[in-house]
Structure 1
Amino acid sequence: MHINVTLITSSVRKQLLLISNAEFVQLRYFSVTAPSGIDPPPIHRHIFKSHNKLGSFTVGDSTFYSLIQNLAETGDLSSLEAVFNQMKRERRVFIEQNFILCFKAYGKAKKAYKALDLFDRMWVDYQCRPSVRSFNSVINVVIHEGLFDKALEFYSAVIIQDKQISPNVLTYNLIIKVLCRLGLIDRAIEMFREMPFRKCTPDVFTYCTLMDGLCKEDRIDEAVCLLDEMQVEGCFPSAVTFNVLINGLCKKGDLARAAKVLDNMFLKGCVPNEVTYNTLIHGLCLKGKLDKAVSLLDRMVRNKCVPNDVTYSTLINGLVKKGRAVDGASVLTSMEERGRHPNQYIYSTLISGLFREGKPEVALNMWKEMLRKGFKPNIVLYSTLIDGLCREMKPDEARDVLIEMEKMGCKPNAFVYSSLMKGYFNTGNTDKALDVWKEAKTNDCMQNEICYSVVIHGLCSNGKLKEAITVWENILSEGYKPDVIAYSSLIHGLCNNGSVEEGLKLFNQMLYAGSGSEPDIVTYNILFSGLCKNGSISHAIDLLNCMLNHGCDPDLVTCNIFLKAIKEQVNSLQDGSEFLEELVIRLHKQKRVVGACKIIEVMLQKYLIPKASTLEVVIQEVCNPKKIRAAVDRCWNNVYVQ
């Protein structure tokens, strides 16, 4: 608010002379209209101390509002509360907007309980009756702070019990959002159905929130029905509405229905945005339908929807995961042709994928091309290159990259040192690997269990069991908890050295060490192999029972170890099929269908035909009748075609 100085009476001008210089400066800022295009300086609270001296001119309540607005925006909560107290003492008129500004300030400061307290005092202390606007402002602050239970409690107290305020559509949207966040979908639906009786018409945000909650609870069919209902009710769906459904269907793997929703989107005249296409591309990549994902990218461009970094990152990552890094590089070229600059994540994904696929030359050419374009590598890219070179058994070249990396001011981390140590251990150069380890310790990069695991695994793999045990003792003395890789590596070293009993002792320690070092199938297979080689098959079977009781399923390696041991027994006439079939039945009884299927696959690969009854119970768990019939038909068609 600006006041023209010429309008101030002569008596007021005389009294202005009594104001101190500091206060006059503040009053000058307040009174003179700022030049056009320049924001006026903030109103200072000191001006209000002089209002009684100004004769007939009194600073108005609206000016207090300007001060409250300024203090709320700057987050000066103590001054804000002081102004409220002063207004109360002077019996100023409080308007609701004063409180809404204050609620928002408390929200920014993450002081939800202060907002709740002020709401309770609005009428009692300040004679300002709160409306639904104040209620919505407060509950929004509470929700943003993650106090979902408190939000429901507040709603129940004010809306349901006291019935002080009639909720509007925003109120319902906020409460439905809270209920969905808490997984209380049925209560959210009840709230949604209650809205018409409160003369509140659900809007597009209401439907989107509820549909998103249903999708997250895997109730996709209900969400789709809700889309039909909203259109019948005359609420036009937005791109966000369709995106919620498409995302839910893609996560479920139902790409056919997701495509139908996309077609419906076009029919309704709703233009898909980059989120729509990104969601579909991500779903196609997860299902391995990469060619369709690439086609969808082309369709996206044809429909004048600009792909962003997420689009390209998703597609390139999907191609790399399926062993098609070269195709990913083609997408990168297409990306650059369209004026998009790849980020560190895209380059890192491609270079790593090319190394894994045995194309180091292509990976190094991409690195050089990246540098020529002026792209400055970060720690992630350097780590990727070093790891790739070590995979190619070129640790010395990787070492040169490490030196260059340090010159560029990029400090190596534990992952970089671990990759380099692996590279030297894999080439049998234990001394250089230990030199890297010492360097990492000097640079304070050894505060990581992964580095210790790499050293122990490398020493054991190179027959340096004594050195590995020394490192192990150092880990324990320094208070570190070895992970499953460290345990498994040392157990493997002990078993290879003929110390199976020592390996079992270490395994027992591992069981009691805690959840961070739970044995996995690799650990068990190491011990199975060691025990069977020593002729302790019965002990190995006892350990197998222990593994099954701990919820760990056998794999191909497990089956091969026991099949070999059974065949090597003296006068053994068994082929191992009975042993594997018992495993299948046991896993099936425990509802571990995936594990049972893996054993069935192993049996079929080994030409060990399971009993019909065993196949039947497993197939019934895995397939539904329609899919079985379709699979059988495809098999017969293939036989006849051939």
Structure 2
Amino acid sequence: MKRNSIIFSDYCHQVSSCYLHPSFSRTNLSFVWFSSSSFGATGTRSFPNYSPKKPSIRDSELVHHISTIIKQRRCEPFRRILRPFESKFRPDHLIWVLMDIKNDYRLVLNFFEWSCIRRDPSLEARCIFIQIAVAAKDLNMVKNLFHEFWSKHDIDGNTSFTQFLEKIIYTYKDWGSNPYVFDIFFQVLVENGRLDDARNLFDKMLNYGVVLSLESCNLFLSRLSKVVDGPNMTLKVFNEFSEVGIQWNTASYNIVMHSLCQSSNVREAHNLLLQMELRGCMPDAISYSTVINGYCNRGELQLMLKVVENMKEKGLKPNEFTFNSIILLLCKMGKAVDAETVLREMMSQGIFPDNAVYTTLIDGYSKIGNIASALSMYEEMQGRHIIPDLITYTALICGHCQNGKVAEADKLFREMLTIGLKADEFTYTTLIDGYCKAGEIEKAFSLHNEMIQMGLIPNVVTYTILVDGLCKQGEIDTANELLLEMREKGLVLNIYTWNTLLNGLCKSGNIVQAVKLMKDMEVVGIRPDAFTYTTLMDAYCKSGKMVMAHQLLHEMFQKGIKPTLVTFNVLMNGFCVSGMLEDGQKLLKWMLDKNIMPNATTYNSLMKQYCIRNDMRAATEIYRCMGHKEVVPDENTYNILIRGHCKARNMKEAWFLHKEVVEKGCNLTAETYNALIKGFIKKKKYMEAREMFEEMRKKRLSADKEIYCTFADINYEEGNIDLTLELCDEAVESCSIDNSKD
């Protein structure tokens, strides 16, 4: 989903370009002339007087003849009328004739073109013609002459630049005196990537009291931002040029801010945005959008929202690219609902989304499992006659697969092929993954074969998914054969492939083979990681081999492999399930001593075993310890404690915890509700039991058969026949579901 950021970047470039390339009219340019005190120089120089070589009497006669004939017969081809003079014509004659006809640009142009056919003009003659052309406002011709010179003299660039600049300065005063000649020279240097020469030209002009136009300086900033260390250089030049009289405009600030954001210096760009008004320059929608996009790319939601708020306070409306950036960030953060709210605001302002925006939202909803909303976006997209592309379909297919709706995913896949879109490796792999997770290995392999027939090459990820699917089906031998096939095809097995096979071996109880596989990994140069060790440790824990599991932890430390919190939680759960609560407590203390912060899962394992032992004092102490360490309890924490208190008949504590759960918006399981209801009934607190029962029914959770019977009897005795029959139906349905599960 990188298209939004790419579009935004292109847009900024286009906007900058319209500032950087003014129409070639003198009225559009803003030159600044300074005295020495204006910019702190020791003194300004005067442009030199032009003093060309003097012609001889014979040369003067020839120049006079040529000047007279081209003036009198200007409408005739110069090749014909000047043929008698060709053998005598030298480069110096060109300059002397130009001195005589310089006020007639059309004549100058024709004569210069005639002389160029004969031979390349001297550098001095070229510069003289450039000065005349600038004075005549034939700026396209001027740019072409500059570019043509660099294309011919690009080998010895430094010498060429110095010589050219000297001649331009030398011919300036008497042949044109239009400062825009230096501007065009500067622009051509920038366009040819000669940024050092351009900077030298800028500094040289300061010595003559000339500051180049803002448009040229903006072009320089824009090109400078694209070189190595561009953002730092751009900011440096931005500050230095300000000191010598460049009055930067909004486009200038936008160029610098965009450059800073591209290099992740968003805070600095934001500071520049805040300084714009103080420096007398009003930010526009692009200014704010640049910083907003920068924060979006860095995932800094709160700072981005602050800039959006500031933008609105200034009366500026977010543009298409602002909205696109915000939507993309919100979707990346799993806030697709908020992203759709932004979409609606965008549409209310008359800005309508394109394929990229809809696809971003479809992908966002798919990743959080909200397939209904993803499909709604897809239908809205089609309703607006926006054609879905491969990325759109892949996002939908991925979302359906993640939610176990493989048949619907396959339907979308076939629909995509029908409308002429070609699936790529990622699309096929996504659907193969869906079938593997659904346990439909044959269909997964059928897709794999179809993929190959289409000329697509399955990658390591594709094969790893297939290996995982086979392992989950217990087909370890077939998975091994597939690994062999991968090697034969030249694919290098990565750590994920090995871990997948090892996980399959552990799940099927082949721990010995899993240990051998881990050793094989090291032989072929694949270093086992924390996941490898944690998987094997989990298998040892589940088989009650806690000594072996503990040894693996020590081995990890010896090899410099940092255990994850999951590693410690696996070991903790193993100790607790094996009844080794003292070892579990020691592990918890060790973690805290080493500043390894446990999470709710770590504490839940201990609490659960204390509850099973009916030691609610110890379980409560663990719960309090969580609070002291600022570990937030999860839903499982509350379910464990409430069931524990119900089992110990501590209904007051259970009731108090239930209220806390409701206030926090957490959910209780059907098992917990059953425990609460039975506990209250045993205490003869029927009102509380009924309240729990109704709450449970509202959440569409099924109660035990015994509870249904109890409340059916109560309602029957109270004369609530309809409710009694309804409860009987629910009880029958609940029992039939339970039987089908069995």
Query: Which bin holds the TM-score, normalised by the shorter protein?
Result: 0.5 to 0.7
Give the alignment of 1:522-561 within 5 angstroms: 522-532=601-611, 537-561=616-640
Shift of 1:208: 5.0
Q: What is the identity, as a one-letter code, of the residue corresponding to 2:337? A: G
Distance 1:170 1:255, change over 3 A: closer
Is residue 182 from structure 1 mapped to residue 182 from structure 2 by the alignment?
Answer: no
2:657 alignment partner in structure 1:
580
Aligned pair partner of 1:597 in 660, 665, 669: 665
Give the alignment of 1:371-450 within 5 angstroms: 371-450=452-531
Separation in 2 of the partners of 1:125 and 1:379? Answer: 64
1:461 alignment partner in structure 2:
542
Instruction: Could you tell me which runs of 5 or more consecutive residues in structure 2 were left unpaired when the two chains were aligned.
Output: 1-78, 92-114, 131-141, 171-180, 681-686, 692-722, 727-742
Aligned pair partner of 2:213 in 103, 106, 131: 131
Aligned pair partner of 1:328 in 391, 399, 409: 409
Q: State the Cα deviation string for residues 395-453 of structure 1 (Å, max 9, x = none).
A: 22222211111111111111111111111111111122122212211122225222222
Q: Tell me whether 128-137 or 325-334 shows the greater mean CA deviation.
A: 128-137
Distance 1:271 1:452, change over 3 A: same
2:447 alignment partner in structure 1:
366
Aligned pair partner of 1:356 in 437, 440, 455: 437
Higher relative contact order (CA 8 A, sep 6+): 2
Shift of 1:604: 6.2
TM-score (norm 2): 0.59
Contact in 2 for aligned 1:142/1:151 (Cα 8 Å): yes
TM-score (norm 1): 0.67
Q: State the Cα deviation string for residues 342-390 of structure 1 (Å, max 9, x = none).
A: 2222222222223333444433333333233332100111111111222
Distance 1:274 1:157, change over 3 A: same
SS at match of 1:174: helix
* Identity rate, percent: 22
Contact in 1 for aligned 2:186/2:198 (Cα 8 Å): no
Contact in 1 for aligned 2:433/2:465 (Cα 8 Å): yes
Separation in 2 of the partners of 1:55 and 1:103? Answer: 23
Aligned pair partner of 2:182 in 84, 92, 95: 95
Superposed CA RMSD: 5.2
1:253 alignment partner in structure 2:
337
Contact in 2 for aligned 1:355/1:388 (Cα 8 Å): yes
Is residue 218 from structure 1 mapped to residue 305 from structure 2 by the alignment?
Answer: yes
Separation in 1 of the partners of 2:631 and 2:198? Answer: 50
Distance 1:59 1:466, change over 3 A: farther
Is residue 345 from structure 1 mapped to residue 400 from structure 2 by the alignment?
Answer: no
Shift of 1:105: 7.7
Is residue 510 from structure 1 mapped to residue 591 from structure 2 by the alignment?
Answer: yes
1:620 alignment partner in structure 2:
none
Is residue 481 from structure 1 mapped to residue 562 from structure 2 by the alignment?
Answer: yes
Separation in 2 of the partners of 1:513 and 1:105? Answer: 59
1:494 alignment partner in structure 2:
575
Separation in 2 of the partners of 1:97 and 1:518? Answer: 64
Give the alignment of 1:117-128 within 5 angstroms: 121=203, 123-124=205-206
Give the alignment of 1:150-229 within 5 angstroms: 155=238, 158-159=241-242, 162=243, 164-174=245-255, 177=258, 181-182=266-267, 188=273, 191=276, 205=286, 209=290, 217-218=304-305
- Which one has a bigger Cα radius of gyration? 2
SS at match of 1:364: helix
SS at match of 2:305: coil
Q: What is the identity, as a one-letter code, of the residue corresponding to 2:213? A: S
Q: State the Cα deviation string for residues 249-272 of structure 1 (Å, max 9, x = none).
A: 87562477556457557xx6x775
SS at match of 1:472: helix
Shift of 1:170: 2.0
Instruction: Could you tell me which runs of 5 or more consecutive residues in structure 1 were left unpaired when the two chains were aligned.
Output: 13-30, 34-47, 231-236, 586-592, 616-638
SS at match of 2:665: helix
Contact in 1 for aligned 2:645/2:654 (Cα 8 Å): no
Q: Tell me whether 486-495 or 287-296 shows the greater mean CA deviation.
A: 287-296
SS at match of 1:519: coil
Contact in 2 for aligned 1:528/1:540 (Cα 8 Å): yes
Separation in 2 of the partners of 1:211 and 1:55? Answer: 51
1:21 alignment partner in structure 2:
none
2:40 alignment partner in structure 1:
none
Separation in 2 of the partners of 1:71 and 1:499? Answer: 84
Contact in 2 for aligned 1:393/1:423 (Cα 8 Å): yes
Contact in 2 for aligned 1:181/1:213 (Cα 8 Å): yes
